Structure 1
Amino acid sequence: MRHNAANSRLWQIVFGPDEAQWIMKRNIIASAFLLLWAATPLIAGWGSPARAQTQSGRASAVTLRSDVKIERIERDANGIEKTVSYTPKDVAVVPGDNVVFTLFVHNPSAQPAMGFKATNPIPAAVRFEAVAEDWADLSVDNGKTWGKLANLKIKIKGAGGAADIERPATAQDVTHVRWVFADAIAPGAQRTVRYRGVVK
């Protein structure tokens, strides 16, 4: 979908500048999500592939399959609120939508998979909210360091040559999620891990 200057001027004439900007942003996000959703079934997180490795860094025989759902709170015919899940291709994805990323980890080999870990970057269009597994590690510096969110820090460059300062990291600082499986994944077994985010 092209969003050139002519389209921008037309939308501003019809809707006004503020509403035109919102419509353009909504359409751009929806188009991007559809393109990334259709790219490949093995992509975990809209164009951000999860890496399957052993703890020694070697490629693993374990396979990864991802699933992405948009969750919305809707009212049924009786006015009762319920959570409804959609695939990104079935709805117009907009800022503020809740997103659930699920990673299915499968060991197709005849041998137990020892020391397995999977690393998933957070998509640029999504703000991290939480990971389901309390044993998962997070990174706020693109995978350079890992830990629990409460222990992570963000370094801020000091102005005018002043010393750098640190502040506690928050969920919106998270760039990557990593799951390191402490126990072996049995032959033929499947594990499931997931994290949640919000569309920016």
Structure 2
Amino acid sequence: MLMTKVKICGLRTPDDIGYVNQLKPDYAGFVFAPGKRQISLLLAIRMRVRLAPQIQAVGVFVNEPLETVAALCRQRIIDIVQLHGDEDASYISRLKEKTSAPIIRAVRVQNKDQILEAEQLPCDYLLLDTFVEGQYGGSGKQFDPSLIPEQLQKPYFLAGGLDEQNVCDILSRCRPFGVDVSSGVETDGCKDFDKISRFLAAVRQST
């Protein structure tokens, strides 16, 4: 059985980079979209330089101009693109013409048909997140994993309200390619080394 991948998202400080470098998740997420975890280009560059080479940097975007995303890929600031806005098949196809970086398309889950429709997009992965009216993601709330279609073929990341307490139970009910966590490994809005460590241990023990 393949080990479930882990993405720690919303890194914002040198301490955050130190934590992931020590604990070795598979992916580190840099949020470029507006919100409380948004970082500047300059900070992203500084953090990327310090990030351990075996950890892939994922850039999270919401309706970002296509050329901006492609430039970040060309400059090797990010390895993987995560699209959380209203980007459609045309946007993804044009982005693929400009970069070879894998593309994750987020889906704010409301029903099974919506997920199956998203699977037809020319992305490499899906990320299944909780639907919250007026938010593009990062709600910290769970959705019902029974909404994930059994016939889903495209590899997907599972997000939304995950933490060390619930991830094992959720992984017993579905088999994502990876899990994505941000607020579930924070204390008072800051990444918590011990919570990240326990989350990683829980995932690795359950797969």
What is the TM-score of this pair, normalised by structure 1? 0.22
Question: Normalized per residue, which structure has more helix?
Answer: 2
Q: Considering fraction of residues, name the structure with more strand.
A: 1
- TM-score where L is the length of structure 2: 0.21
Higher RCO, 1 vs 2 (CA within 8 Å, ≥6 residues apart): 1
